[in-house]
């Protein structure tokens, strides 16, 4: 199915029958991707009064309770409510779902004991391109990202200046294949989150950050449309399923 999308005076065509899923599925397993020092997610059939919510165990339906943390257990999209005292919900702040995006690949730079994505790197790659969303794939890019245990590993992150740059560029949706855009242990400063959402001035309520994506090596860098699909949770973050669509013309 060919769909035409208009952005200002420009029209783009995408093929809705050829989606490129860049989300990581949640599994009830110790092998599920994980961060932030929490246990693995669980999916358990409900049990009460001798009844079990499992057809395999003799129940009439499968009826599971799922326990997980959206920030720790897979692809999720978050709003500024992730770092503010006032409660804001991703379900209330994300009102549009298709965005003109650029997929870029970055090799994080070594800085002391850390690896960072710098402002200079982003400026060099993005240049004068005007996009609504930026999707960052980091190298190396192995399938290990689908089940890696990130706690206490000090993963790469965005330097504050890089997040300031994306804010200045008017990028409203940032997607990345790391558990966070900030340093794992930063004494709660969350410099990149604060910079991207512009919390010291006029908060960018409509802006979102999507973490824990996985972009296969077969997907080439360049312009796409991204459809950010979220579960309708009234929470600062929700599990999400971002989908890329190639631009035909």
- Least Cα distance to 214 among 187, 189, 244 occurs for 244
Arithmetic mean of pLDDT, 165-191: 98
Nearest Cα to Cα of residue 239 among 210, 217, 218, 214: 210
Q: What is the pLDDT of residue 9?
A: 80
Delineate the domains of the chain, giving CATH numbers in brackets. 2-33+69-246 (3.50.30.50)
Q: Would you state the pLDDT for residue 189? A: 97
Q: Residue 8: its pLDDT value, please?
A: 79
Q: Take residue 136 and report the two structure tokens written for it.
A: 């960052």
In the structure, what pLDDT confidence band is assigned to residue 67 with cuts at 50, 70 and 90?
very high
pLDDT recorded at residue 96: 95
Q: Which pLDDT value is given to residue 83? A: 98
Q: Judging by DSSP bridges, how do beta strands 157-158 and 114-117 pair with one another?
A: parallel
Q: What is the mean pLDDT of the chain?
A: 97
Do residues 195 and 164 make contact, with C-beta atoms less than 8 angstroms apart?
yes
Percent of the chain with pLDDT over 70: 100
Question: Token pair for residue 85?
Answer: 């005292």
Backbone conformation region of residue 36, classed left if phi is above 0, alpha if psi is from -120 to 50, else beta = left
Q: Residue 140, preceding bond cis, omega within 30 degrees?
A: yes
Task: Taking residues 228-245, report their average pLDDT.
Answer: 98
CA-to-CA distance for 103 and 182, rounded, in angstroms?
Answer: 20
As a whole number of angstroms, the distance between CA 48 and CA 176 comes to: 42
Residue 109 is predicted with a pLDDT of 98
Q: According to the model, what pLDDT value does residue 236 have?
A: 98
Would you place residue 1 in the very low, low, confident or very high pLDDT band (cuts 50, 70, 90)? confident
For 113, counting Cβ atoms within 10 Å of its Cβ (0-12 exposed, 13-18 middle, 19+ buried), the class is exposed
At 96-139, the pLDDT tens digits run 999 999 999 999 999 999 999 999 999 999 999 999 999 999 99
Pairing of strands 98-106, 133-138: parallel
User: Predicted confidence band at 233 (pLDDT cuts at 50, 70, 90)?
Assistant: very high
Q: Look at residue 225 in the predicted model and tell me its pLDDT.
A: 97
Q: What tens digit of pLDDT does each residue of 5-46 get? A: 888 788 999 999 999 999 999 999 999 999 999 999 999 999
Residue 7: count other Cβ atoms within 10 Å of its Cβ: 14
Res 6: pLDDT: 85
Tokens coding 219? 């997907």
Confidence of residue 49 (pLDDT cuts 50, 70, 90): very high
């Amino acid at each position: 199915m060919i769909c035409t999308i208009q952005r200002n005076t420009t029209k783009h065509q995408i093929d809705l029958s050829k989606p490129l899923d860049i989300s990581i599925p949640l599994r009830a397993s110790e092998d599920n991707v994980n961060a932030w020092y929490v246990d693995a997610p669980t999916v358990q059939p409900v049990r009460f009064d001798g009844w079990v919510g499992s057809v395999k165990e003799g129940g009439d339906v499968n009826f599971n309770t799922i326990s997980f943390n959206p920030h720790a257990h897979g692809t999720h999209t978050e709003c500024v409510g992730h770092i503010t005292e006032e409660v804001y919900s991703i379900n209330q702040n994300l009102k549009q779902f298709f965005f003109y995006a650029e997929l870029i690949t970055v090799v994080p730079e070594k800085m002391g004991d850390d690896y960072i994505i710098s402002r200079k790197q982003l400026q060099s790659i993005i240049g004068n391109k005007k996009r609504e969303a930026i999707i960052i794939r980091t190298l190396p890019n192995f399938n290990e990202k689908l089940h890696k245990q990130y706690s206490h590993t000090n993963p790469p992150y965005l330097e504050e200046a890089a997040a300031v740059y994306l804010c200045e560029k008017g990028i409203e949706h940032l997607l990345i294949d790391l558990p966070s855009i900030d340093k794992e242990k930063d004494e709660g400063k969350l410099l990149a989150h604060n910079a991207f959402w512009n919390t010291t001035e006029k908060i960018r309520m409509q802006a979102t950050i999507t973490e824990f994506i996985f972009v296969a090596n077969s997907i080439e860098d360049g312009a796409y449309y991204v459809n950010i699909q979220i579960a309708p949770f009234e929470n600062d973050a929700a599990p999400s399923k971002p989908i890329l669509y190639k631009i035909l013309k």
